[in-house]
Every structure is written in structure tokens, then in C-alpha cells.
């Protein structure tokens, strides 16, 4: 699957209880953003940007992340949901669904690497982010 615009899926949205982060942000862009949640920026600076190249996108990181990495443990503790978009089975249109980190790795990580689907965003509950100790 090919993206058309370099700024597709680069956003920070939030509602009363949830934060939605576009998966095409690099970790450098997250750290430089004025609207990124402070606690998430701190996790990025202390762990993700050190574990990976800071120019890695969130989507690239999730697509290649192994379950023995520190970043996996952090995303798991944050109970992150990963929104995956893929072509419908009938070939007409796309469907998007949010999956837990474990379900994503079992069902979609390989498909993401092969280009059969892509990560649109990550979803983090504010309660999990606020209660997380870095």
C-alpha cells in the first residue's frame, strides 16, 4: 500500500479519555512537537529514540519491534491500541480496526512489513499515560 502525502497520518488528537497519535511521525518530530503529550515525549526521548534511530516513524518501529525490547514492554504497559488499515477482502474499499499490541504482532506485523496493510495511528488512554512511571 502506498501513501500519497508525506503528512498523512501525522496528528495529535485527544478527547476526554484518549490520545490519538498519527503513526507517520518520526520520534524526532514527536520530541519537537509543541502539542505532543509531555509524558509520551519523555518516553520517546528516554527510550524509543535511544533504542531506534530518532528518524524512525512510529509505524516503522511497531512493524519491526520484537517482544523482548524495552519499547515493547512500554507500549504493552501503556496498553496501546494500533489502528491498522487494509484493503477489504472483496477489493472494494478499505477497512480500519484497532488492535492490542499482542494481536497486532500476531496477525498484522508481518503483513505490515510486506506492505499488505499499514499502521494509521496509535491510541493511548490518558489514564494509562498519566499513571505510567518513566
CATH code, domain with 26: 3.30.465.10
**Does residue 47 sit within a domain?**
yes
**Does residue 61 sit within a domain?**
yes
C-alpha separations of 11 from 2, 45, 52, 88 in Å? 19, 18, 21, 25
Q: What is the pLDDT along the chain (134 residues), one digit of tens a residue?
A: 444 565 678 999 999 999 999 999 999 999 999 999 999 999 999 999 899 999 999 999 999 999 999 999 999 999 999 999 998 888 788 899 999 999 999 999 999 999 899 999 999 999 999 988 87
**Does residue 4 sit within a domain?**
no
**Does residue 102 sit within a domain?**
yes
- The pLDDT score that the predictor gives to residue 7 is 66
DSSP string, 19-88: EEEETT-BHHHHHH-SSS-HHHHHHIIIIIHHHS-TT-BHHHHHHH--TTSHHHHHHHHTT-EEEEEEE-
- The pLDDT score that the predictor gives to residue 1 is 44
d(CA 127, CA 51): 25
**Does residue 84 sit within a domain?**
yes
Report the number of distinct structural domains present in the chain.
Answer: 1
**Residue 57 belongs to domain spanning:** 12-131
Phi, psi of 3 (to 5 degrees): -90, 150
pTM (2 decimals)?
0.89
**Does residue 118 sit within a domain?**
yes
- The pLDDT score that the predictor gives to residue 134 is 72
**Does residue 5 sit within a domain?**
no
**Does residue 26 sit within a domain?**
yes
Amino acid at each position: 500500500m502506498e501513501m500519497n502525502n508525506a503528512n498523512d497520518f501525522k496528528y495529535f488528537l485527544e478527547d476526554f479519555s484518549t490520545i490519538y497519535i498519527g503513526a507517520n511521525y518520526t520520534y524526532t518530530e514527536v520530541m519537537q512537537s509543541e502539542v505532543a503529550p509531555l509524558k509520551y515525549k519523555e518516553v520517546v526521548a528516554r527510550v524509543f529514540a535511544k533504542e531506534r534511530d530518532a528518524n524512525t516513524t512510529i509505524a516503522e518501529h511497531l512493524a519491526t519491534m520484537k517482544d523482548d525490547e524495552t519499547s515493547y514492554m512500554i507500549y504493552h504497559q501503556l496498553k496501546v491500541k494500533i489502528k491498522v488499515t487494509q484493503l477489504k477482502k472483496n477489493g472494494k474499499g478499505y477497512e480500519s480496526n484497532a488492535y492490542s499490541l499482542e494481536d497486532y504482532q500476531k496477525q498484522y506485523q508481518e503483513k505490515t512489513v510486506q506492505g499488505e496493510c499499514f499502521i494509521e495511528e496509535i491510541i493511548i488512554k490518558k489514564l494509562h499515560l498519566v499513571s505510567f512511571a518513566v
